[in-house]
Amino acid sequence: MKQARLYDNPQEFAGMMMKHLSESLNVSIQQNKEEPLLLEMILNQGKENERMEVSLHSTMQTYMASGDLNTAIDYLNGVVDCTIGIRMNQGLAKLDPQYIYPAIRDNRYIEEAGLQSTFLSEEYLPGLGVIFIETKDTFSKIINQSLLEQNPRFTEERVKRLAYKNLQYSGWNDSRMSLKSPFRSSCYVEVFTDNDYPVECQFLLPEMSRNHMPESCLVAYTNRKTSLLLRSDEKMGTMSDACFLAGKSRFKEVVKRSYRNLPQPVSDQIYWIHKGKAQLLEEA
């Protein structure tokens, strides 16, 4: 049973988050005039580069689906811990080339959360893009133009090259669970989750996937920690085959539940991968 929600609109939800952050960190916080779920934290009034932009879109989406305020509080505590770490460690802006990886996000997040300083990103699939992060210790830093300016040795090209090199060097990450569909015994849902770094780009890198992926399958990037893959003993060599099995196995429903109910959602879209190439399911 879903819990009763205390905050039913973006203004109320953002107001609660702003109050908690302001009291915890003693900082000035303001809302984006056009988008109340974008908050700007001003860490130092006299220094333009000591600002953080916090996007609440995915957190509120999860909260609205479940009514669980604990998810929002956990997210807030993560922001607090990260901000305190930045204040205490002046060298946190320094990039470490060993810990840079590509990560998948939905296009709206890339555009809206990167308004203050554009994220380093590239197109990936319809509705999705790739950003580049440094994930180390307890922090993950999104690499944006401001961070590049503070690290002049790191060009956009170098960051991208390092990210994919690190992912390949780390090796293929197997699924944590393989679940046979109770609705279609030939179909299996592979769950890729709880890795120490983002692994979702491995599915479309030929040098990583060629010995680990079936010729045809379905993939969904439901949230930042979870990717779902559907494989089948039946043929999935055409878009029609893929759509048929996605429906019969209830994979579409699994994807939507994961997207709606788990923290930090990314996308409920499903992509058909055939011979190393991907396209949106049902998109001819």
The pLDDT score that the predictor gives to residue 85 is 60
Distance CA 193, CA 198 (A): 9
Q: Tokens representing 40?
A: 């700007």
The pLDDT score that the predictor gives to residue 284 is 44
Distance between start and end Cα atoms, the chain: 39
Q: Are 7 and 81 contained in the same domain?
A: yes
Q: Are 136 and 216 contained in the same domain?
A: no
- The pTM of this model reads 0.76
Q: State the CB neighbour count (10 A cutoff) for residue 162.
A: 21
How many residues does the structure list for the chain?
Answer: 284
Residue numbers of the domain that contains 215: 177-280
Helix (H, G, I), strand (E, B) or coil at 93: helix
The pLDDT score that the predictor gives to residue 52 is 65
Q: Are 181 and 275 contained in the same domain?
A: yes
Please classify residue 56 by burial: count the beta carbons closer than 10 Å to its beta carbon, then call 0-12 exposed, 13-18 middle and 19+ buried: buried
Q: Are 191 and 146 contained in the same domain?
A: no
For the chain, what is the radius of gyration of the CA atoms?
A: 20
Q: Are 193 and 245 contained in the same domain?
A: yes
Q: Are 155 and 232 contained in the same domain?
A: no
Distance CA 261, CA 274 (A): 29
Q: Are 124 and 72 contained in the same domain?
A: no
How many separate domains does the chain show?
Answer: 3
DSSP H helices in the chain? 10-25, 57-66, 69-88, 107-113, 145-150, 156-170, 206-209, 239-248, 251-261
Contact of 165 with 157, CB cutoff 8 Å: no
What DSSP character marks residue 263? S
Q: Which residue has the tokens 């030939």?
A: 186
Query: Beta partners for 29?
Result: 41
Q: Are 27 and 96 contained in the same domain?
A: no
Q: Are 81 and 105 contained in the same domain?
A: no
pLDDT by 10s per residue, the chain, length 284:
455 567 778 888 888 888 877 777 777 787 776 677 777 777 665 555 556 667 777 677 777 776 777 766 776 666 666 655 655 555 667 889 999 999 999 998 888 777 666 889 999 999 999 999 998 765 678 898 888 988 999 999 999 999 999 999 999 999 999 999 999 999 999 999 988 899 999 999 999 999 999 999 999 999 888 999 999 999 999 999 999 999 999 999 999 999 988 777 899 999 999 999 999 998 54
The pLDDT score that the predictor gives to residue 44 is 61
What separation in angstroms does the CA of 119 have from each of 88, 109, 115? 24, 10, 8
Picking from 68, 88, 108, the residue at the C-terminal end of a domain is 88
Picking from 65, 88, 111, the residue at the C-terminal end of a domain is 88
Q: Are 65 and 75 contained in the same domain?
A: yes
Write the CB contacts of 56 (distance below 8 Å, at least 6 apart in sequence): 10, 13, 14, 17, 37, 38, 39
Picking from 88, 116, 151, the residue at the C-terminal end of a domain is 88
Q: Are 188 and 166 contained in the same domain?
A: no
Q: Which residue has the tokens 């990260």?
A: 82
Q: Tokens representing 54?
A: 């916090």
What separation in angstroms does the CA of 274 have from each of 50, 67, 101, 206, 215? 45, 38, 25, 12, 6
Q: Are 140 and 187 contained in the same domain?
A: no
